[in-house]
Amino acid sequence: MNEYKYADIQIGQTETFTKEITLDMENKFREISEDINPLHYDDNFAIEISEGKFKKHVSFGMLTASLYSTATGVYLPGKYCLIHSFDEISFLSPVFVGDILTIEVKVTGKNDSLNLLHLKIIIKNQNNKTVSKAKIKIIVLK
């Protein structure tokens, strides 16, 4: 876990990490969220409803979005992070079990009077295709 302090963070600074989406992750997310939509577990339903565009069930968008919390709370700024707001979040392509996601968080602005960071986060799959992106404001507590 990184421990960046507000004064040490620069505009343009980035951190990157990867995460593989697994069936176990989906099952745990389903248990917590109680989202039982068949699109997220039934391969045949996903194939049928997408008219063959999907080859298997689609992972939860909010499971992918949970990586925004990891990006900020562990990587940039890390330990002293408090999420203030999401200004934008987009889900651009589906994510599937077995996808290896690369998450890059970048500082795009700072508000010194509030210790507030403006961050842009992009999540790409193993094919370098952007699957989700967000603009987030973070308060750095130290």
**Spatial CA neighbour of 16 closest among 70, 59, 66:** 70
Q: What is the pLDDT of residue 103?
A: 98
Assign 58 a pLDDT band (cuts: 50, 70, 90).
Answer: very high
What value does the mean pLDDT take over residues 59-77? 97
Question: In the sheet where 81-91 sits, what is the strand order?
Answer: 14-20, 100-111, 116-124, 130-140, 81-91
pTM comes to 0.94
pLDDT above 70 covers a percentage of the chain that reads 100
Task: Give the per-residue pLDDT at 90.
Answer: 97
| 113 CB neighbour count, 10 Å cutoff | 6
Q: Can you tell me the distance from the alpha carbon of 113 to that of 54, in angstroms, rounded to the nearest whole number? A: 47
Q: What is the pLDDT of residue 12?
A: 98
Count CB atoms within 10 A of the CB of residue 128.
7
pLDDT band at 79 (very low <50, low <70, confident <90, very high): very high
> Which residues have CB under 8 Å from 107's CB, separation 6+?
9, 10, 11, 12, 13, 14, 76, 117, 118, 119
Instruction: Share the mean pLDDT of the chain.
Output: 97
Q: What is the pLDDT of residue 105?
A: 98
pLDDT of 45: 97
The residue assigned the tokens 């990490």 is 17
Q: Of 134, 131, 109, 110, which Cα lies nearest the Cα of 120?
A: 134
The residues near 20 (Cβ < 8 Å, ≥ 6 apart) are 98, 99, 100, 101
Q: Select from 120, 88, 118 the least CA-distant residue to 15.
A: 120
Domains of the chain: 10-140 (3.10.129.10)
